[in-house]
Amino acid sequence: MPSGPLISAFAAALLAGAVLPATSLAVSPAYLVPVNTPYAKFGPFEQRTSSDADELRRVFGEPDVVRRTKDFCFLRWRAIGATVVLSNFGQEQDPCTNVFIQARLDGPRWRTQFGVGPGVSAKVAARRAIRPCREWWECGGRGTRGFVYRTDRSDCSATPKVTVSADVRRGRVAALNVFSHGCE
């Protein structure tokens, strides 16, 4: 077993409570929500294919719940704590075979590479954020508050668009939100 001053100093630092920063190595790739990608990504799903609906089913399997409206489709995978919204953007196609709009990840294993995810304290979540949510939709809906972890420019707006955020309720992260980087 290795020994010496360097090993002893490292062991002493760990015993004294020194904590290494959370990194992507501490998060399972199956539940990683990266905040440094040029496209929407969570776990094995990447919004880079022509059929987001097919890709979601390929990587997560058939959803437990499917709800359709005229323009939207809501897919829920209970075991992993993921709800995804797809849209046909008002076209005549089935919205459940169309384009990824957003995901709400409320399962306890979802994490950013900084360790932020459901169940984490609001104080920890705030330290890793680039800013608080400013608009109701940025963190998941009316009455929610939370923090933004990534914004990107899009063809839809002159201002950067929120693409990863956390919904905070009762002092803890309730869910991570991943939004499409594109527009209609």
pLDDT-above-90 percentage for the chain: 58
Q: What is the pLDDT of residue 136?
A: 83
**For 78-134, what is each residue's pLDDT tens digit?**
999 999 999 988 888 889 988 999 999 999 999 999 999 999 999 999 999 999 999
Element (H, E) at 153: strand 145-154
Query: What is the average pLDDT across 19-33?
Result: 67
Q: What phi and psi values does residue 68 have, to the nearest 5 degrees?
A: -115, 145
- Residue corresponding to tokens 């954020």: 129
DSSP 32: B
The pTM assigned to this predicted structure is 0.82
Judge contact between 138 and 124, C-beta under 8 A.
Answer: no
3-state class of 148 per DSSP? Answer: strand
For residues 163 and 178, give the distance between their C-alpha atoms in angstroms, rounded to a whole number: 6
Q: What is the pLDDT of residue 2?
A: 45
Please provide the average confidence, as pLDDT, over all residues in the chain.
Answer: 84
Reference 162, options 142, 128, 137; nearest CA is: 137
Query: What is the average pLDDT across 147-161?
Result: 82
What band does 147 get if pLDDT is binned at 50, 70 and 90? very high
**For 44-81, what is each residue's pLDDT tens digit?**
999 876 689 999 999 999 999 999 999 999 999 999 99
